[in-house]
Structure 1
Amino acid sequence: MGEPTAFSADQIEDFKEAFGLFDRVGDNQVAFNQVADIMRALGQNPTNREVKKLLGDPSAEDMANKRMNFDAFLPLLAKQDAVPKGTYDDYVEGLRVFDKEGNGTVLGAELRIVLGTMGEKMKEDEIDALMQGQEDDNGCVNYEAFVKHIMSV
């Protein structure tokens, strides 16, 4: 894994402010189960599994009850920031495998199966929200437009 990024003083100040918004108790700490949301609010896109790993694989009870302060959170954010991100081309290439006709589209039904069964599996309602307005009259999805849509969400 790459070296954790050194953040500027301004960035750290912004991160601290965002972190504070999640402190619902007023003790300058957040629950473990808020860490993923804070990272997403700060422009990261970790999976829940990645965040659990960063936290040392805590139990569900620890996720709900354990708390951490900003000084413990910042190194985790730096580690997550150093993780290579998937690029637009990576995602398009991954979906091109399902383009049987070679016409830039994949079957919406097939895409739904992939989203629900591979990687960090999505729930049906999450898939429905993501697929909203993406299928054409033939039930096909232009996957380049789909990836642009996802990356702008």
Structure 2
Amino acid sequence: MGDKLSAAEIERAQFAFSIYDFEGNETLDAFQLDPALRALGLNPTLKTVEKLGGQKRKGQKKFTIEEFLAILAEAKKDKDVGNKEDFREILRLYDKSGDGNMIFDELKHILLSMGEKLEADEVADIIKDCAVPADDDGFTPYGVFLDKLMAGPVLKEDE
């Protein structure tokens, strides 16, 4: 089933699978499909995760390693994901001066209203962790925001 994956990809997938096998019974709860795929460097949309069998609640479905490898191979083929340059190009549309800055409130609006909708508290956390505060004119550099956002979560020392 994992024949579309390289040996190194299979090894990484098996390791990720073992991390998300919280019960130790060689299965992955479908609720954990999204974080497991993200741990392997993919950035699937919620729609893609659902299409691949991901669940919104724990305990509804389990995957074996063979099923997970097939899902991973399918997820790697999915073109419905973006990369940093795609996102940079989108935010560049809001860069009226062409200087790498955009209006801070537009960034918040984009996160709240476009694509997969985020809740206000989720946006506040993302902004706090990734965005440079607005300058006196209300602008923020979107490149710094994207770099921090795409780098993924960073655990603080007290976590």
TM-score (norm 1): 0.81
**Structure 1: gaps (5+ residues):** none
Name 1:10's counterpart in structure 2.
8
Name 2:95's counterpart in structure 1.
99
Task: Give 2:34's aligned amino acid.
Answer: A
- Is 2:44 the partner of 1:49? no
Distance 1:147 1:125, change over 3 A: same
Name 2:35's counterpart in structure 1.
37
- Contact 1:20–1:28 (CA<8 Å) still a contact in 2? yes
Name 2:23's counterpart in structure 1.
25
Deviations 1:69-108 (A, max 9, x none): 1111111111111224423332222112222344321111
The count of aligned residue pairs is: 147
* Greater mean alpha carbon deviation, residues 38-47 or residues 140-149: 140-149
- Contact 1:32–1:65 (CA<8 Å) still a contact in 2? yes
Distance 1:40 1:5, change over 3 A: farther
Measured in 1, the distance between the counterparts of 2:12 and 2:82 equals 25
- Contact 1:5–1:81 (CA<8 Å) still a contact in 2? no
Deviations 1:1-43 (A, max 9, x none): xxx9822223312311220221222321111111111111111
Runs of 4+ in 1 over 4 A off after TM superposition: none
- Is 2:75 the partner of 1:80? yes
* Greater mean alpha carbon deviation, residues 109-118 or residues 25-34: 25-34
SS at match of 2:140: strand
Name 1:141's counterpart in structure 2.
140
Residue identity (%): 32
Bigger share in helix: 1
Taking the TM superposition and a 5 Å limit, the aligned residue runs for 1:119-138 are 119-132=115-128, 133-138=131-136
TM-score (norm 2): 0.78
Task: Give 2:68's aligned amino acid.
Answer: F
**Structure 2: gaps (5+ residues):** 153-159
- Contact 2:43–2:82 (CA<8 Å) still a contact in 1? no
Distance 1:102 1:24, change over 3 A: closer
